[in-house]
Chain A
Amino acid sequence: MSEQIAFWILSAIAVLGALVAVRKRNLIHGVFALMIFFAALSGLFLLLLAEFIAAVQILVYIGAVGILLLFAIMLTERVAGDDGRRMTSRGWFWGLVVAAAVFVVLLLPAIQQWPTPEVTQAPDPSVEELGHKLMNPYVMTLEVLALLLTAALIGAVTAAQGIRKPKEEGSPE
């Protein structure tokens, strides 16, 4: 019973957050609404006993992606974000159709095994199990991914730095 209540509250917050994130003209408000959506999603993961995904959801989506979005907005000219320009909305019908189709496809696994079986114990990929899997069979994958990300990071820094002029104009950071 209490799980049901929590589920509906969290779902309502998530849907409202997502709606506000899409509808708000003010970019910063939009980003924070998106973060509320992420936080509610993390709560839903917790409700599904997937605590690791819940923590990573906060860590990555709110802590990293959200902050990155804020940074990106601060670097654009429309910092305030609330000017009166309207977004064009031609083709909203087909957009709606595609969105609905994607939604149904995402729901397919759940629809197929309706009514859903009740799960009472923690699902198998607990934090411990995940750790064992990451450190034993998938350690090479993990390392390759880490290397790839490091390369991307260094590449981004190099690209952002541009070509250094011979006369070094000091611009620390």
Chain B
Amino acid sequence: MSLELIRDILVATVPLLLIFPTLFAFTTWLERKALARIQNRIGPNKVGVPLTRYGGRFSLFGLGQPMADGIKMLFKENIVPRDADRLFHLLAPILALIPAMLVLCFLPIDFPWINNIQDSVKAFMLDGAVIFFFAITGLNTLAVFMAGWASRNKYSLLGGMRAIAQMVSYEIPLVLSAVIVVMMVGSLNAAEIANAQAGWNWFVFTPWGLAAFIIFFIAALAETNRSPFDLPEAESEIIAGYFTEYSGFKFALFFLGEYIAMFAISGLAVTLFLGGGAGPGVAALPWLSVIWFLVKIFALIAIMIWLRGTLPRLRVDQLMGFAWKFLLPLSILNIFIAGSALHLLAGGRLAGLDEKQPILRQLMEGANPLVVAGLWIGALLILYVAANGLNQLSRAKVRPREYKYAE
């Protein structure tokens, strides 16, 4: 292996391993602060710049809190239950982190330093980058199950089982809504998908793209066990679910893995629907695209935090019903709508398209504005009516509650 290749691999990967954990630290602070403000508290505000005598003087809104948390986690005792499967108990948090870190390299972020390295090292240039992304994020489920099973604790096991059921169910609408984008671009290459949305041609601005984005975002919340889909770690029901028996740095690893997974899935949402690094000023200053990408990721994370502070947790049957009876039919219908719309836009030109160019852009070039407007309104109407109808159909029948074990 040549030295250049090793250098290129390091250049492509090491910055990701530095940037995202740093952002994770900042996000934990952001989340605590935002939740506190939502609940009319102040949140962490004491820990300031380290090594200054009076941290309070330079407290910087408590920005030192993540560092203090990290140090605390490092020094905490590592407790393994007596009956636990020691090997799996150790491996689970590591396995939770690896897939999350791995998929970061499929995000087409144009860091300035990756322009000088060869294309074969850039994972997002793979022809099947999006498939790889979904394949590897699916491994998260295993870590959760491993943790739940290895702890030998019934709450852990319940949490693990809940997590598997939830993640397997919500993976389907997640992938099906990504299919819409693949149809509009005609490629699974993450970089090509992002480039197809240059300027303001973001796919979220098409009706089917908007619906797919909303479905994707909901499913992503469930995939990352975020509230209101945090049943696997529901404190009031099963303590902390699958990581009940974890302490110290293993707990921190779970935490880190969860947040990195949030970054990754938000990054994919940005790539697929929100134009990747596209934004005002990118044409003049290329490095702005990195900033825009991260800003969009943080916008999605902020929405996640906001939802966590606002929504109550779902019930298990609601969770399953919502995935199978609402999201799945809607995303399949959405695929049909997108397909028909592309077909109508093409009007018999589909065979003559250039394969190397994004499909939607080619179709839009020669399209009649009236037809486009009609399609947009029609698709939105159909989707709205379908969502409403499915909502009526899938709503769980509410019966008077029966208490089996209490009077």
Interfacial residues, chain A to chain B (CB-CB below 8 A): 1-2, 28-29, 32, 35, 51-52, 55-56, 58-59, 62-63, 66-67, 70-71, 74, 126-128, 131, 170, 172-173
Least CB separation from A61: chain B residue: B135
Determine the chain A residues whose CB is within 8 A of the CB of B168 once the complex forms.
Answer: 67
Query: Bound complex: CA of A66 vs CA of B141, how far in Å?
Result: 11
Query: Bound complex: CA of A107 vs CA of B77, how far in Å?
Result: 53
Tally of contact residues, B, Cβ under 8 A = 30
Contact A127 B138 (CB under 8 A): no
Select which of A62, A74, A128 is within 8 A of B142 by beta carbon.
Answer: A62
Determine the chain B residues whose CB is within 8 A of the CB of A56 once the complex forms.
Answer: 131, 135
Contact B136 A71 (CB under 8 A): no
Determine the chain B residues whose CB is within 8 A of the CB of A35 once the complex forms.
Answer: 142
Contact A51 B127 (CB under 8 A): yes
Determine the chain B residues whose CB is within 8 A of the CB of A2 once the complex forms.
Answer: 1, 5
Determine the chain A residues whose CB is within 8 A of the CB of B138 once the complex forms.
Answer: 58-59, 62-63
Query: Bound complex: CA of A29 vs CA of B149, how far in Å?
Result: 11
B106-144 interface mask toward A, CB cutoff 8 Å, 1 = contact, 0 = none? Answer: 000000000000000000001110011011101101100
**Contact (A59, B128) CB under 8 Å given A170-B399, A173-B316:** no
Interfacial residues, chain B to chain A (CB-CB below 8 A): 1, 5, 85, 88, 126-128, 131-132, 134-136, 138-139, 141-142, 145-146, 149, 161, 164, 168, 171, 188, 316-317, 320-321, 396, 399
Determine the chain A residues whose CB is within 8 A of the CB of B88 once the complex forms.
Answer: 28-29, 32
Least CB separation from A39: chain B residue: B139
Determine the chain B residues whose CB is within 8 A of the CB of A127 once the complex forms.
Answer: 127-128, 131, 188
> Would you call the interface of chain A mostly helix, strand, loop, or mixed?
helix
Contact A67 B128 (CB under 8 A): no
Contact A58 B149 (CB under 8 A): no
Q: How far is the CB of B133 from chain A (nearest CB, A)?
A: 9
Question: Which of A62, A63, A67 has the most B CB atoms < 10 Å from its CB?
Answer: A63
Contact B128 A1 (CB under 8 A): no
Q: How far is the CB of A6 from chain B (nearest CB, A)?
A: 9
Determine the chain B residues whose CB is within 8 A of the CB of A66 once the complex forms.
Answer: 142
Query: Bound complex: CA of A56 vs CA of B134, how far in Å?
Result: 10
Contact B141 A67 (CB under 8 A): yes
Least CB separation from B128: chain A residue: A127
**Contact (A67, B136) CB under 8 Å given A127-B188, A172-B320, A173-B320:** no
Determine the chain A residues whose CB is within 8 A of the CB of B316 once the complex forms.
Answer: 173
Select which of B135, B161, B164, B317 is within 8 A of A58 by beta carbon.
Answer: B135
**Contact (A55, B132) CB under 8 Å given A2-B1, A67-B168, A173-B316:** yes
Contact A172 B396 (CB under 8 A): yes
Query: Bound complex: CA of A128 vs CA of B185, how far in Å?
Result: 13
Query: Bound complex: CA of A123 vs CA of B356, how far in Å?
Result: 20
Query: Bound complex: CA of A172 vs CA of B161, how far in Å?
Result: 16
Determine the chain A residues whose CB is within 8 A of the CB of B5 once the complex forms.
Answer: 2
Determine the chain A residues whose CB is within 8 A of the CB of B135 once the complex forms.
Answer: 55-56, 58-59, 62-63
Select which of B132, B139, B164, B188 is within 8 A of A70 by beta carbon.
Answer: B164
Q: How far is the CB of A20 from chain B (nearest CB, A)?
A: 12
Query: Bound complex: CA of A58 vs CA of B131, how far in Å?
Result: 10
Determine the chain B residues whose CB is within 8 A of the CB of A170 once the complex forms.
Answer: 399
Contact A70 B321 (CB under 8 A): no
Starting from the known contacts A55-B135, A67-B141, A127-B128, 16 additional A-B residue pairs (CB-CB under 8 Å) come to A28-B88, A32-B146, A35-B142, A51-B126, A51-B127, A51-B132, A52-B131, A55-B132, A58-B136, A58-B138, A74-B161, A127-B188, A172-B320, A172-B321, A172-B396, A173-B317
Query: Bound complex: CA of A52 vs CA of B188, how far in Å?
Result: 11
Least CB separation from A82: chain B residue: B85
Determine the chain B residues whose CB is within 8 A of the CB of A70 once the complex forms.
Answer: 145, 164
Determine the chain A residues whose CB is within 8 A of the CB of B139 once the complex forms.
Answer: 58, 62-63
